[in-house]
Structure 1
Amino acid sequence: MKYRVMYDKGTRLRVRSGQWAFTKEEGYGLASLLLENDFINEVYTSHRNGSILIYYVGVENKSKIFDILDSITLDDLFEGEPTQLQISKEITDDFILKLVKMFGRRLFGRIFYPIPLRRFFTLLHASKFLWEGLDSLTSFRVDVALLDGAAVAGALWQGDFEPATSMMFLLAISDALEEYTVQKAKSTLRDSLALNIDTLWLVGEDGTEEPCSALEIKKGDKIKVHMGDIIPVDGKVVDGEAMVNEASMTGEPLAVHKRAGKTVHAGTVIEEGNIIVEVYSINKETRLNKIIDLIENSEELKADAQSKAEELADSIVPYSFLATALTYLFTGNAKRALSVLMVDFSCAIKLTTPLSIISAMREASDNRMMVKGGKFLESYATADTIVFDKTGTLTNASPKVVHVFPMTKRYSREDILRMAACIEEHFAHSIATAIVKHAEEEGIKHEEDHSEVEYIVAHGIATTYDDKRVVIGSRHFLFDDEGIKINKTQEKKIKKEVQEHSVVYMAIDGKLEGLICIDDPVREEAKDVIDELKGLGIENIIMLTGDSESAAQSSAIALGITQYRSQVLPEDKSRIVEELKDEGKTVIMVGDGINDSPALAAADVSVSMKHSSDIAREVADISLLSDDLYDLVTLRKLSNGMFDKINTNYRRIVAVNGSLLVLGALGVITPSTSSLIHNLSTMLFGALSTKSVLGDDYSNEIKVEAIEVIDD
């Protein structure tokens, strides 16, 4: 490949191969080819001039990149698909380029076009607004289109071509901004819902499993999906059984039992069990992607503030016409009336509100918080109640074993820990890891003395150990589901010894034989975060946990939480959220586990943590991409700042445009001056709407992107 180095600094490299080096689709393929190297993080290509922008790790790898570029031939080019990151950048690049062209054409015309030609183009552009205004008039709609058409017509009637041109230019910018806002929001949604699964387990004819790239999977292949994994394809179950949570697909919070012959869909998650799936549909053909397309074409993600701004803009229009008519009636001066007509409150309102919202969403993304739509950021700002799942949210999800108690003389403490570690090592959840680690620390070695560990669908863990049935799990699982009996002596011992701990119970051959006490200390920053959230207007802080009453109370005291629910079953969480909503509260739900997904779906706005399960991330409206609980505070400040910005814009718009109305009606300013000040103030309010609430880092990033696009 022939190329020239255009930028080379640090770990950022940009080369250019010329306009006809590759097509847009081949650019995507070229990017995927370069991304196969571990030291290359991001690649962006531009077919317009053959530009390739590469972000990589380690300056020492620069020579490797040049070697790769030198080795690429025409035969290596292929048409690929863009990543969501590439799509998002292209949307921003195209928007900036569009603005640059609009300003460039306007400046070029003012400098080089003679006045007759400029007026011809003004009349040509005006025809669109006049036609839309006429359509509103004939349809008896008093809306913004009618006001814009009337203002343009009035200016042209008076021979004020320059004010008419300025107004139409600003309206074109407003349309471009609105289109960009919608596209960016849709891109954010698609990115947050994308499966992003790189490796699948392909099942061969002999039943063996081999890792396989998701790109290599085709219809008819058979893949194995394990417990806790997200299903990456649409297909039919051919072996195994599982409980599949389809909340992201159907909205139904309860998991569905899937066995051989049943259909499963991409984007759903296996809560329990393992299945082998024969592939029906992949990638864009899956039902999930079809649903994403439907969501993208809906208005449901638009913030209420934006919808209200649009309604307010239309409702102001009749008063603008009334003010114009009264001015002409009392003064008899068409110039004064036109000065009033040139003042359009609605233009600024419709421009600044969506800008404030999309700016806040992008700032959230820059701070590693993924917001799926403006309405969720708005709900987060107005919420008065926040519900925390304890484990993995208020705690670090790094539990430790603190006590092991045998409940009879048949088995010693070491026996209980050995058997528990032997069985739990087959599972990757945090409590299982804690038990295995504690056995290792005590030097207790265990061997495979049990049969295959069975994760009983919708029940728990069971196996056969020394020809005896062993079950391990929570109190509810053993005593309610499995019917294990407990005597009064054991009950007293449990109350005495394990009051402030979470407990894993073990039963052998139907008898309670051991208790393993687990502590999962709260995060160091959790109490400060809760105090700050209270200071930011969230009145009700509620903790939900499956722990015993005493353990829950201990954690609540440490966190400064006055409201908590202990011994909460997974199915109870969503019911509690619904009860809070029925009381008139606006609820934020924060969780991270598979069992939190129904409650996340039920809340007004839901937040998943960094290390959340696949399904929690799918269901959540907002995903935190860092492991910092303070992000909840940052998000509240950001969402509040967004509303402050919108309200400030309203006050400024009313003050400036109200003054222009009065000055125009009194004849102090001309229609040209009225239009100029109105347009300039609207542009200024639009610029202020993009100002960062949390800092200037994001603004600097946009400036860099703008320079790159202009250079391209």
Structure 2
Amino acid sequence: MKYTIVHDMPGRIRLRCGRNAFSLDEGYSITSVLMAQTIVTDAKASSINGSLLIFYVDDSRSLLLDFIDTLVPAELPVIPPAERDTTSEVDADFQYALAFRIVRRLLFRGLLPSPVRHVITLFRAVPYVVRGIKSLLNFRINVDVLDASSIGVSLAQGDYRTASSIMFLLSLSDLLEDYTRKKTKLALAGSLSVNVDTVWKQDSYGNFISTPISQLEEDDTIIVRTSGTIPVDGTICEGEAYINEACMTGESQSVLKKAEDSVYAGTVVEDGSIVIKVRAIGNGTRMNKIIELIDQSENLKADVQSHAENLADSIVPFSFLASGLAFLLTRNATKAASVLLVDYSCAIKLATPISVISAMREAANHKIVVKGGKFLESYALADTIVFDKTGTLTVASPSVSEVIPFPPYNRTEVLKTSACLEEHFPHSVAHAIVHKAEQENLKHREEHAEVEYVVAHGIRSKLHGKKALIGSYHFIVEDEWIPVTPEQKSIIEEKGHGKSAIFLALGDTLAGMICIDDPLRPEAAETIQALRESGIKKIIMLTGDSDEAARDVSAQLGITEYQAQILPEDKASVIERLKEESHQVIMVGDGINDSPALAAANVSVSMKDSSDIAREVADITLLSTDLRALVTLRHLSLSLMERIQKNFHVIIGFNSLLLAGGLIGFIPPAASAFLHNFSTMFISAASMRPCLKPPV
């Protein structure tokens, strides 16, 4: 690929390949290929002028240029439209539309004769008047009625210039709001997409084998077990399961699905196991439904946003009343028109949702997905945060530190059997056990019967006709009544001191224990302190681990309140109790066992490596592994609420001055309309600014 270096600095380079060097489709392919390289941190390709802007890891410039030399745009794989990042196109469309409106306005006023301008103004006024009449017919006196009245009064007075200015500024406000919504929807769409790399596909012998999803075809058969995301649209052939379809319907209650029922990509198996015949591949449906839900659902709007919209409409009748009083008192139609052309509702109704949606977009830029404006508001108002320990305060990838067999079993048998049982379940501890078996090259066949996942306890199955159990000490010993000898108990107390441990039982015998090294996230203590400084008064840790392990972690992090050996339903009870005590609660978790508590909290947060169910239930999802994102979100949400209040005061103050100026005759109707609409547009544009200051 031929190019010229037009700008070069450490970590950043811009190349110019020339006009028509590659097409729009090829530009997406080039960007995708570059982003797949480990040395590239960001890349943008513009087909308009054939430029490439690339950010790369330090000291890898020569490797990058060598790679670009080998690229042949026409030979690169085509990126499907659903997978493209069209942010730059949206920016270009907005800039073009804005420039077009401004140039058309200037030409309209400078070149066309007055009679033609008047006819065009009348024609452009029709949609506004129609919307106002429709609102009146539906017995609503809202902003549409006020806009129609303002334009109508100006036209009735023969003031075509003022009417044209009102419509021009209204069109710019609409363009600005539409642009913000599109940008936010794109950011959310990219953030919310679920990436399923492999599936369990049935082969010609009836066995289910791990297969890359790229090799999946229609009419193939796959199996999805408890807590798994369904990666395709299809029909259930065998089995039954409770499916969480919140991403499709917005309903949190799971639905029982069985043979012949349809299932959809992105939904989650909460409990059970199903064999699915593939009907359609891809997760576009899920993405579109979530975005649609976020964009349209009244339930997801922030209370402050709903309040602003209701307030805006409720103020409209008072605008008409003030205009009428102005006419009665002064008998001056011009002063009455000046009052009518100014109202509080436009800016209030526009600036608040733009502030909220811009904050959601800013959160997405920080790799934080917020599923609705109300959750940003709840996050800002919260005074209590509750953490799950494993995978949240500790690293998402724990490791096996020791495998301890109990006679007559040996170490290899314990690790191999444990991995066989755990491999189907997306929990960090399960991953650690499976990974340890892979490291030691311990291969296993699926010789066990169908497994049953007992939430927050463990797994129950059969192996070679014998009962096979793996899970917590509470599950194995207290629930399943597996006996523990004094020698075994002594070893458990010695080896499990301050550690997480998983136990394996075969038949009625304790076969072994696996110690899990679950180190704290390096930024956890800093995050706890920063949250406390941001106004969080209570910080609580919940864990199913022993009291000793919980006490050690709490001491290291500076957490003064914790509960150990806690069950999922008990976690939810803790949240409910806090809410009954008038606390606004944030719950942060990552596992299936956290789902009840996540659902119970005022606002819930799931981690990057959370189970599918936790991500579905959570109101906010972190897409980075850094806990400090919680602090970033806290500052963002507080800044958003502060901006909304500031906007409200500015709108009330400025428009009150305009009303006073119109009443005393100091501001004519045309100037009044211009200043009102310009201020609305200015406040809306200012509401798009980042809430957070860039790092110094």
TM-score bracket for this pair, using the shorter chain length:
0.7 to 0.9
Distance between the aligned counterparts of 1:519 and 1:682, measured in 2?
57
Aligned to 1:31: 28
Distance between the aligned counterparts of 2:145 and 2:255, measured in 1?
53
Aligned to 2:371: 372
Distance between the aligned counterparts of 1:161 and 1:124, measured in 2?
12
Structure 1 vs Structure 2: percent identity of aligned residues? Answer: 45
Compared with structure 1, are the counterparts of its residues 510 and 450 closer, same or farther at alpha carbon in structure 2 (3 Å cutoff)?
farther
Aligned to 1:623: 621
Q: Confirm or deny: 8 A CA contact 1:272 1:455 kept in the other structure.
A: no
Distance between the aligned counterparts of 1:126 and 1:438, measured in 2?
71
Offset at residue 650 of structure 1 (A): 0.6
Quick check: 202-211 or 588-597, which moved more? 202-211
Q: Confirm or deny: 8 A CA contact 2:396 2:609 kept in the other structure.
A: no
Offset at residue 618 of structure 1 (A): 3.4
Letter in 1 for 2:391: G
Compared with structure 1, are the counterparts of its residues 286 and 518 closer, same or farther at alpha carbon in structure 2 (3 Å cutoff)?
closer
The answer to whether 1:300 aligns with 2:299 is: yes
Name the SS of the counterpart of 1:588 in structure 2.
Answer: strand
The answer to whether 1:320 aligns with 2:319 is: yes
Letter in 2 for 1:484: I
Distance between the aligned counterparts of 1:71 and 1:406, measured in 2?
58
Distance between the aligned counterparts of 2:52 and 2:438, measured in 1?
49
Distance between the aligned counterparts of 2:210 and 2:443, measured in 1?
26
Name the SS of the counterpart of 1:86 in structure 2.
Answer: coil
Aligned to 1:701: none
Compared with structure 1, are the counterparts of its residues 103 and 149 closer, same or farther at alpha carbon in structure 2 (3 Å cutoff)?
same
Aligned to 1:705: none
Matches within 5 A, 1:309-388: 309-388=308-387
Matches within 5 A, 1:72-471: 81-83=80-82, 85-137=84-136, 139-197=138-196, 200=199, 202-207=201-206, 214=213, 217-223=216-222, 225=224, 229-237=228-236, 248=247, 264-269=263-268, 276-283=275-282, 297-399=296-398, 419-426=413-420, 427=422, 430-431=428-429, 452=447, 456-459=451-454, 460=458, 471=469
Q: Confirm or deny: 8 A CA contact 2:399 2:517 kept in the other structure.
A: yes
Q: Confirm or deny: 8 A CA contact 2:187 2:364 kept in the other structure.
A: no
Task: Provide Cα deviations, 1:462-481, integer angstroms capped at 9, x if missing partner.
Answer: 78999986643212321244
Name the SS of the counterpart of 1:378 in structure 2.
Answer: helix
Compared with structure 1, are the counterparts of its residues 103 and 284 closer, same or farther at alpha carbon in structure 2 (3 Å cutoff)?
same
Offset at residue 287 of structure 1 (A): 7.8
Aligned to 1:609: 607
Compared with structure 1, are the counterparts of its residues 16 and 579 closer, same or farther at alpha carbon in structure 2 (3 Å cutoff)?
farther
Distance between the aligned counterparts of 1:679 and 1:248, measured in 2?
39
Letter in 2 for 1:99: L
Aligned to 2:664: 666
Letter in 2 for 1:607: V
Distance between the aligned counterparts of 1:402 and 1:318, measured in 2?
71
Aligned to 1:704: none
Distance between the aligned counterparts of 2:105 and 2:249, measured in 1?
50
Distance between the aligned counterparts of 1:4 and 1:165, measured in 2?
48
Offset at residue 392 of structure 1 (A): 1.0
Offset at residue 199 of structure 1 (A): 5.0
Distance between the aligned counterparts of 2:311 and 2:675, measured in 1?
22
Q: Which runs of 5+ in 1 are unaligned?
A: 699-712
Distance between the aligned counterparts of 1:500 and 1:624, measured in 2?
28
Q: Which runs of 5+ in 2 are unaligned?
A: none
Distance between the aligned counterparts of 2:240 and 2:631, measured in 1?
42
Quick check: 193-202 or 363-372, which moved more? 193-202
Distance between the aligned counterparts of 1:578 and 1:532, measured in 2?
25
Quick check: 651-660 or 549-558, which moved more? 549-558
Compared with structure 1, are the counterparts of its residues 107 and 42 closer, same or farther at alpha carbon in structure 2 (3 Å cutoff)?
farther
Aligned counterpart for 1:681 among listed residues 651, 662, 679: 679
Task: Provide Cα deviations, 1:490-537, integer angstroms capped at 9, x if missing partner.
Answer: 778867885644333344542446555545343343233223323323
Compared with structure 1, are the counterparts of its residues 635 and 65 closer, same or farther at alpha carbon in structure 2 (3 Å cutoff)?
same
Distance between the aligned counterparts of 2:129 and 2:64, measured in 1?
59
Letter in 2 for 1:325: G
Q: TM-score, normalised by structure 2?
A: 0.82
Distance between the aligned counterparts of 1:438 and 1:202, measured in 2?
24
Q: What is the aligned residue count? A: 679
Aligned to 1:710: none
Offset at residue 356 of structure 1 (A): 1.1
Distance between the aligned counterparts of 1:255 and 1:654, measured in 2?
46
Compared with structure 1, are the counterparts of its residues 357 and 458 closer, same or farther at alpha carbon in structure 2 (3 Å cutoff)?
same
Distance between the aligned counterparts of 1:490 and 1:200, measured in 2?
39
Distance between the aligned counterparts of 1:243 and 1:152, measured in 2?
56
Name the SS of the counterpart of 2:385 in structure 1.
Answer: strand
Offset at residue 276 of structure 1 (A): 4.9
Quick check: 117-126 or 514-523, which moved more? 514-523
Name the SS of the counterpart of 2:502 in structure 1.
Answer: strand
Distance between the aligned counterparts of 1:449 and 1:528, measured in 2?
42
Quick check: 668-677 or 645-654, which moved more? 668-677
Aligned to 2:631: 633
Distance between the aligned counterparts of 2:275 and 2:26, measured in 1?
31
Q: Confirm or deny: 8 A CA contact 2:172 2:681 kept in the other structure.
A: no
Distance between the aligned counterparts of 2:477 and 2:451, measured in 1?
16
Task: Provide Cα deviations, 1:608-649, integer angstroms capped at 9, x if missing partner.
Answer: 212223333333222212221111111011011011001001
Compared with structure 1, are the counterparts of its residues 606 and 88 closer, same or farther at alpha carbon in structure 2 (3 Å cutoff)?
farther
Task: Provide Cα deviations, 1:145-185, integer angstroms capped at 9, x if missing partner.
Answer: 22222222222333433332222112112222333344444
Aligned to 1:538: 536
Letter in 2 for 1:31: Y
Distance between the aligned counterparts of 2:279 and 2:320, measured in 1?
59
Task: Provide Cα deviations, 1:129-160, integer angstroms capped at 9, x if missing partner.
Answer: 23333444455432212222222222233343
Letter in 1 for 2:28: A
Distance between the aligned counterparts of 2:446 and 2:104, measured in 1?
77
Offset at residue 669 of structure 1 (A): 2.3
Task: Provide Cα deviations, 1:396-445, integer angstroms capped at 9, x if missing partner.
Answer: 245466788788xx57xxx775544343445565446767999999xxx8
Quick check: 8-17 or 231-240, which moved more? 8-17
Name the SS of the counterpart of 1:458 in structure 2.
Answer: strand
Q: Confirm or deny: 8 A CA contact 1:470 1:507 kept in the other structure.
A: yes
Distance between the aligned counterparts of 1:108 and 1:178, measured in 2?
25
Letter in 2 for 1:302: K
Q: Confirm or deny: 8 A CA contact 1:231 1:265 kept in the other structure.
A: yes
Offset at residue 106 of structure 1 (A): 1.7
Letter in 2 for 1:334: A
Distance between the aligned counterparts of 1:251 and 1:659, measured in 2?
45
Q: Confirm or deny: 8 A CA contact 1:136 1:143 kept in the other structure.
A: yes
Letter in 2 for 1:588: I
Letter in 1 for 2:587: M
Distance between the aligned counterparts of 1:513 and 1:618, measured in 2?
36
Name the SS of the counterpart of 2:626 in structure 1.
Answer: coil
Letter in 1 for 2:556: A
Offset at residue 375 of structure 1 (A): 2.2
Q: Confirm or deny: 8 A CA contact 2:28 2:84 kept in the other structure.
A: no
The answer to whether 1:566 aligns with 2:564 is: yes
Distance between the aligned counterparts of 2:599 and 2:308, measured in 1?
28
Q: Confirm or deny: 8 A CA contact 1:273 1:456 kept in the other structure.
A: no
Compared with structure 1, are the counterparts of its residues 685 and 34 closer, same or farther at alpha carbon in structure 2 (3 Å cutoff)?
closer
Letter in 2 for 1:523: R
Compared with structure 1, are the counterparts of its residues 275 and 16 closer, same or farther at alpha carbon in structure 2 (3 Å cutoff)?
farther
Name the SS of the counterpart of 2:677 in structure 1.
Answer: helix
Letter in 2 for 1:456: V
Task: Provide Cα deviations, 1:537-585, integer angstroms capped at 9, x if missing partner.
Answer: 3333222210123332332333333433321223443444344445544
